[in-house]
Structure 1
Amino acid sequence: MNSVPTEEDVLDAFAAEPNHDAATFQRYLKEYPQFAVALVDLSRELSREIAEDETLSEREIAWIEKATREYSEGWASAAFAAPTLEQRRAAAKELRVPRQVITAILECKVAVETISRRTRRRLALQFNATVDGLVQALSGPQLSASRSYKADVSPSTGEKVSLEQVLREAGVSEDVIADLVSEDD
């Protein structure tokens, strides 16, 4: 079953085209006539000449500041570098869990607040990170970089789950679960 692209998908694809010439524009109009008005508006915006001495509007300045702030915040979480395969293996061994648990944690599928402070410290140590850097990185949206599949519809991320649930689903023993989720220091 083929999914029907949304207007946003079509506009994003058009904007990403290397050339916005008449041929490209005509091709999009032919393939997506239902989005003709939006395509015309975007085409005009993309072909608009901007004078170098033109001042930015307050709306444009606010948009740039917001984008810059979001970009900078993304780099703040980059202080937590993606762990190597060896670090992931060592973390799984240290915590006595299957590597799938470490993967779920790193893909932000586990709600970070369900990971005990002691376990966070142990993970940060294994990943050569600060606890704050680790928590910030794991607090982001779910990732699925290690898995990519072709699908007819866009993938959606589910709710984050507790560490205890991930451990139980992975078949981890009760004593290890208690050790990892307990707040005892």
Structure 2
Amino acid sequence: MNQSQPMTRDEVLYAFAVEDVEGRDTLMRYLAAYPQYAQDLIDLSRELARPVSDESLSPADAQRVDAAVARFRAAIGQRMPVSLAAQAFNVAAERLQLPTLVLVSFRERRVDLASVPARFLERLAGALESTMDQLRAFLAQPPLVSAARQSKSRVKPVAAVKVPFEKVLRDAGVEAARVQALIDRGE
């Protein structure tokens, strides 16, 4: 238990659950250190003390468990991969030698996917350390409006719209010859 920085409820419960020494003394120590989580600690200690049943699941219960696991796995597949986090787009901007504004447009999904050359998408997926399928699925989602932009705006923010890749490049100040090369060859 490290009390130099306050621990969250989840951190306290996790620390309690993995204690080497189980029993009343450990519970009392945690209750004294974290009285705000007393009920949660007591509930967890009861759960951990319950005997594990060796009974097999009924067919109906097994089917419900299988369905829950399938839903969980499907949800994991829909989450944004770590490589598509905001910092990855900044790194990708450097790797692709493009203004950050271009990659911000991709991060906020404001680029019309149909207007982006396949070769550039391959290079972008590589720079993001992602797969083409993950990148396409991410970019196909509705556009985002940055929370930072919303809070700094003097006018009411409107829903973002998807724009052609060429417009994004031109608005970011990319030279005309480079824009043409990116559109024609994805380079």
TM-score range, shorter chain: 0.5 to 0.7
| RMSD (Å) for aligned C-alpha atoms | 3.3
The residue aligned with 1:113 is 114
Distance 1:151-1:93 versus aligned 2 partners, 3 A rule: closer
Q: Which amino acid aligns with 1:106?
A: R
The residue aligned with 1:169 is 171
Distance 1:72-1:84 versus aligned 2 partners, 3 A rule: same
Higher relative contact order (CA 8 A, sep 6+): 1
For 2:153 and 2:122, the matched residues in 1 are separated by 38
2:89 is paired with a residue whose SS is: helix
1:118 is paired with a residue whose SS is: helix
Pairwise CA distance, 1:95: 2.4
The residue aligned with 1:178 is 180
8 Å Cα contact 2:109-2:142 kept in structure 1: yes
For 2:90 and 2:100, the matched residues in 1 are separated by 7
Task: Map 1:128-143; keep pairs closer than 5 Å.
Answer: 128-143=129-144
Distance 1:118-1:72 versus aligned 2 partners, 3 A rule: same
Query: Per-residue displacement from partner, 1:93-119 (whole Å, max 9, x unpaired)?
Result: 232221011011110111111111111
Pairwise CA distance, 1:92: 1.2
Percent identity at matched positions? 27
8 Å Cα contact 1:96-1:176 kept in structure 2: no
Pairwise CA distance, 1:155: 3.5
Q: Which amino acid aligns with 1:140?
A: Q
For 2:155 and 2:75, the matched residues in 1 are separated by 27
For 2:94 and 2:153, the matched residues in 1 are separated by 34
Greater fraction helix: 2
Higher Cα radius of gyration: 2
Query: Per-residue displacement from partner, 1:108-153 (whole Å, max 9, x unpaired)?
Result: 1111111111111111111111001101101101112452317799
How many residues are aligned here?
Answer: 117
Structure 2 gaps of 5+ residues are 1-69
Task: Map 1:4-19; keep pairs closer than 5 Å.
Answer: none
Structure 1 gaps of 5+ residues are 1-67
For 1:88 and 1:114, the matched residues in 2 are separated by 19
Structure 1 runs of 4+ with >3 Å offset:
71-77, 150-155
For 1:138 and 1:74, the matched residues in 2 are separated by 18
